[in-house]
């Protein structure tokens, strides 16, 4: 319960500060820079080397990729039929294909299901969502931000994406047991700033004025991300005969609202940033009701 209250409080403070204009111009961009380039890489460098792998853990690792690849296939088709711009299609693929498995996911899974479910949730977050963001997300952002780039352009953008570099370093030091304890302590403290600042940043940027004009787009995107895709993942777990904390954690992670970092990435690449922020914000608010319901059903 305390984790849910923390998330709701940080989001609410951001909304209040934005309404009363108490922060200087550029504050959200400064917060986003810290989130993407400092707090998120710190979390990756600490958590990845701690993981212990088994064949059963492939399910939570692959499940977020299923959600992302589904968005890659579905939203371009829907977008062409509805006359969306390339920027709008890219924003929908990013925000409705990638879940908030770090900012909200780890805290919500622990709060709703208990500590035994956190390990598989970390797998879904690091090897599912973060990997999909670092590789697939950057490719999608590059393609839809303008003329399709060359392989070299995509590689340069991926190598310039700090979380991707952190993921590569973390994988390299994993066989060595990770970083020295003193560095882990420091980076853990830095990584702990991610959740409150991310939700605060969402609150600062959330605007409700466009909901009326975008309600059909929001309904379709959030319907995929928070209902249809998790149901498909649940069906996959049932078909494979998987039970227990591992598949449940993977399903819950797939039911998380749109990823804040995906919205930030859409903004950085100028992919309909107003819509991207709206999808992330509305999805985050709705998840405070939908996630407890999903956890109860599982």
Of 248, 262, 272, 256, residue with least CA distance to 40 = 262
Three-point CA angle 109, 113, 117, nearest 5°: 65
pLDDT at residue 224, as a whole number: 95
pLDDT at position 254 is: 96
Residue 162: predicted pLDDT: 86
Query: For residue 291, what are the β-bridge partners?
Result: none
Contacts of 246 (CB under 8 A, 6+ apart): 56, 57, 59, 60, 120
Class of CATH domain 2-7+42-293: mainly alpha
Give residue 36's pLDDT: 82
Q: Are 221 and 78 in contact (CB under 8 A)?
A: no
pLDDT for position 176: 86
Q: 3-state DSSP call for residue 257?
A: coil
**What residues does each domain of the chain span?**
2-7+42-293
Q: What is the pLDDT of residue 223?
A: 94
Q: What is the pLDDT of residue 149?
A: 65
Nearest to 140 by CA among 152, 158, 128, 122: 158
**The two three-digit tokens of residue 173, written as one number:** 């030091």
Q: Which residue has the tokens 């649940």?
A: 234
Rounded Cα gap, residues 171 and 82, in angstroms: 42
pLDDT score of 229: 95
Phi and psi, residue 59, nearest 5°: -60, -55
* Residue 99 dihedral angles phi and psi, to the nearest 5°: -100, 155
Q: Per DSSP, what are the bridge partners of residue 258?
A: 99
Burial of 137 (0-12, 13-18, 19+ CB in 10 A): buried
Q: What is the pLDDT of residue 230?
A: 96
Compute the distance between CA of residue 180 and CA of residue 186 in angstroms, rounded to an integer. Answer: 10
pLDDT given for residue 209 in this prediction: 67
Which is nearest to 44 in space by CA: 132, 150, 144, 122?
A: 122
- Spell out, as residue ranges, where the chain has pLDDT lower than 70: 1-3, 21-22, 147-149, 153, 207-210
């Amino acid at each position: 319960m305390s984790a849910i209250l923390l998330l709701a409080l940080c989001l609410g403070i951001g909304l209040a500060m934005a309404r009363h204009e108490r922060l200087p111009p550029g504050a959200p961009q400064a917060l986003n820079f810290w989130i993407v380039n400092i707090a998120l890489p710190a979390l990756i460098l600490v958590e990845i080397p701690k993981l212990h792998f088994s064949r059963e853990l492939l399910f939570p690792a692959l499940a977020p990729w299923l959600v992302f690849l589904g968005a890659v296939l579905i939203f371009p088709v829907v977008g062409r039929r509805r006359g969306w711009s390339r920027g709008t299609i890219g924003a929908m693929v990013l925000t409705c294909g990638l879940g908030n498995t770090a900012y909200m996911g780890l805290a919500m899974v622990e709060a709703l299901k208990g500590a035994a479910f956190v390990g598989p949730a970390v797998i879904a977050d690091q090897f599912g969502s973060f990997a999909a963001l670092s590789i697939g997300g950057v490719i999608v952002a590059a393609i839809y931000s303008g003329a399709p780039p060359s392989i070299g352009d995509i590689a340069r953008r991926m190598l310039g994406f700090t979380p991707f570099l952190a993921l590569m370093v973390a994988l390299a030091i994993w066989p060595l047991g990770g970083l020295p304890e003193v560095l882990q302590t420091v980076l853990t403290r830095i990584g702990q700033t991610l959740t409150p600042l991310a939700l605060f940043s969402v609150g600062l940027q959330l605007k409700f004025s466009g909901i009326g004009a975008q309600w059909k787009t929001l309904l379709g995107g959030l319907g995929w991300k928070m209902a249809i895709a998790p149901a498909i993942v649940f069906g996959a777990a049932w078909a494979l005969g998987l039970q227990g904390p591992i598949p449940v954690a993977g399903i819950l992670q797939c039911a998380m609202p749109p990823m804040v970092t995906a919205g930030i990435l859409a903004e950085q690449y100028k992919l309909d940033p107003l819509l991207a922020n709206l999808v992330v914000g509305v999805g985050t608010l709705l998840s405070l009701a939908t996630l407890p319901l999903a956890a109860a059903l599982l």
